[in-house]
A and B are shown apart, each in its own frame.
Chain A
């Protein structure tokens, strides 16, 4: 069954979004480590929408959670400017501290912590889906 949360895309709502997904993960029996990894991916994606999608205006973000056969899937969508986060190049994690740029780790962490990620632009919406197998 799908659960949906529609909320203003603002950083101050991050905890409401995390609480919404945490509750669903707990209902589906998810261990603490995977819950932390999913929470991390969720924060990065929601904050991206909050900071960039509406270019200073306030708009909505929709979060849909489902869990089938032990795979948790979260879809985040917004009606802001089209943006494919997966086009962003991964940071070079082999560089020295001096050479490394500060920042740019968000999407990379999403890809590393989730099993599958996908982006599409449809009906004026950015739709980002990520999934991960969860265990008790």
Chain B
């Protein structure tokens, strides 16, 4: 399952693939940051995500920092196992997760 990007005016929706690891996190970073200029609402849809390592968490934190300067970021459809990773890293405290 690959990452899909949808951009309309100031809204960017990134539907992340099933796995984000060391080898494909740079692709996720590129797809987000190539499209992030002028974006006020970034939505990361994690409905397909089953696995994420620190390399992917790094990209999400970087996106959160960027969006804090220009708008807002929302993370959607997080499965329970991934939510536990967000809890243990404190991400669930600093991010808006629906």
Residues of A participating in the B interface, judged by any CB pair closer than 8 Å: 11-12, 14-15, 33, 36, 39-40, 43-44, 47, 91, 93-98, 100, 102-103, 105-106, 108-109, 112-113
Contacts and interface: CB of A to CB of B under 8 A. Distances in A.
A112 B93 contact: no
Interface in B32-53: 50-51, 53
A99 B54 CA distance: 18
25 contacts: A11-B23, A14-B22, A14-B23, A36-B81, A39-B51, A43-B53, A44-B53, A93-B88, A93-B90, A94-B90, A95-B94, A96-B94, A97-B64, A97-B94, A100-B90, A100-B94, A102-B58, A102-B61, A103-B58, A105-B54, A106-B53, A106-B54, A109-B53, A109-B89, A113-B88
A94 B62 CA distance: 17
Contacts of A98: 65, 68
Interface in B53-67: 53-55, 57-58, 61-62, 64-65
Nearest to A94: B90
B96 to A, nearest CB: 11
Nearest to A34: B81
B23 A94 contact: no
A94 B93 contact: yes
Interface of B: 21-23, 50-51, 53-55, 57-58, 61-62, 64-65, 68, 81, 85, 88-90, 93-95
Given A12-B23, A102-B58, A105-B58, A97 B65 contact: yes
Contact of B54 (A11, A94, A97, A103): A103
Contact of A102 (B21, B62, B85): B62
A109 B54 contact: yes
Given A14-B22, A102-B62, A108-B89, A97 B81 contact: no
Nearest to A93: B90
